[in-house]
Amino acid sequence: MYHKEEIFLNKGDITRFISINKRTFLILCTVFVIGIVLGTLCVKTLTDVQKTELINYLSNFFKVLGNTEDINKNRMFLQLLFDNIKVYVLILVLGMFSIGMLLIPTLVLIKGFILGFTIGFILDELYLMGLLFSLLVIFPQNILYIVGLIFSSLISILMSYNKYINKNKFSSSSYFKRNIHNILNYTLSLLVCYAITALGCAFEAYISPIFMIFFSNKLF
């Protein structure tokens, strides 16, 4: 399932990296899709009262947005960076322990569930306009978020597995030195993934509000 020799993005090009670790990559993608499906199905379990509350929340949000002439996009961008860096710190830490092999896919599942629920609810309530909203406001940055999440999770799982199979070698000084090198490469690789996510944050902060203001006058 796991290939310990190819853990970091800077060890080869992305195509080769995916090819070598394709089973783990496919498992993560499948887990993410399962999360999306579960989130979408969960929308069907909402009561009318819960749906009304969510619709009212969205309505109030868009009314405030539509009446706001000067959105602080810089503050929004920094907040998005901060929110996402917390996820990456969690992924970084989980990769340091063997248990990360189990917990990281769970994190991917939860992320997929949230995205599936969000899109499912919007499509269920807003129909065609909801589809346009999803395509213009939700999908663009989330494509970057998903790429960053899947690759960072893959790298972290491989690091976690590497820790597991070498858990009895920590007494070796040569292994300790090599492990420090691996941790540095691991951290740098996650920073590359975070940079991809940061692009998504920039799109969500500076571009998405333009479409959101447009939809605020159309949806509610």
What digits encode the pLDDT tens for the residues 153-195? 999 999 888 877 766 555 445 555 667 778 888 899 999 999 9
pLDDT band (50, 70, 90) for residue 70: low
Highest-confidence segment of 16-20, 56-60, 194-198: 194-198
Q: List the domain range (segments joined by +) for residue 37.
A: 9-219
> What torsion do the CA atoms of 135, 138, 141, 143 make, to the nearest 10 degrees?
-70
Stronger pLDDT, 103 or 136, i.e. the higher one: 103
Q: What is the DSSP letter of 161?
A: H
- 106 in a domain, yes or no? yes
Domain count, the chain: 1
- 4 in a domain, yes or no? no
- 3 in a domain, yes or no? no
- Neighbouring CB atoms inside 10 A of 132's CB total 16
Total-model pTM: 0.83
- 118 in a domain, yes or no? yes
Give dist(CA 155, CA 7) in Å, integer.
Answer: 6
Whole-angstrom CA distances from 118 to 36, 42, 143, 174 are 9, 10, 15, 49
Convert the pLDDT of each residue in 74-121 to its tens digit: 888 999 999 999 999 999 999 988 888 999 999 999 999 999 999 998
Token duo for residue 114: 């949230």
Stronger pLDDT, 51 or 40, i.e. the higher one: 40
Would you say the C-alpha torsion 105, 106, 109, 114 has a positive or negative sign? negative
Judge whether residue 64 has pLDDT over 80: no
- 171 in a domain, yes or no? yes
Give dist(CA 122, CA 35) in Å, integer.
Answer: 17
